[in-house]
Amino acid sequence: MRSTRFWVLAVAGLLAASLLAAVLVYTSSPGGTVAEIVLDGEVIRTIDLETAQAETFVVQGESGTNTVQVEPGRIRVQCADCPDQVCVHQGWISDGTVPIVCLPNRLVIRITGGSHPGLDGVAG
């Protein structure tokens, strides 16, 4: 009987510790959501999406041009001169799950920060 009671208390303790760890992970917020515009591997601009004003700007690189549109909380490539238009068809992004990538023009738009930066599409 004592052995059973020990194991019940041990399992209950582990469950309580796991629950506490999960609550700490989901309630910790490291800061705002920031979009990084990366051209040829170099960050050329950062935009705080939580305080962003609606704007449209052009990113000109050696390989081509992308028109980026920003609205509060989200960002997208509005148009591009690349042949496949994958970056345009991806649409708006608002979290760090999937970046926008334009391989022909060597442009990446990635989002960092937010409430759950460690989660991905599988775990989130």
Residue ranges of domains in the chain: 1-29, 33-113
Assign 18 a pLDDT band (cuts: 50, 70, 90): confident
Which is more confidently placed, 16 or 104? 104
| pLDDT for 90 | 95
Mean pLDDT of 67-77: 96
3-class secondary structure, 34 = strand
Summarised one tens digit per residue, pLDDT across range 40-65 is 999 999 999 999 999 999 999 888 99
Residue 104: phi and psi, rounded to 5, are -60, -35
Determine contact, residues 66/107, Cβ cutoff 8 Å.
yes
Does pLDDT of 74 surpass 60? yes
Q: How far apart are alpha carbons 54 and 22 in whole angstroms?
A: 36
Question: Which of 112, 99, 117 is CA-nearest to residue 29?
Answer: 117
pTM of the model: 0.68
- Top CATH class, 33-113: mainly beta
For 60, 111, 113, the CA distances from 41, given in Å and listed in that order, are 14, 15, 19
Does pLDDT of 28 surpass 60? no
The overall average pLDDT reported for the chain is 85
| pLDDT for 117 | 47
| pLDDT for 114 | 62
| pLDDT for 123 | 53
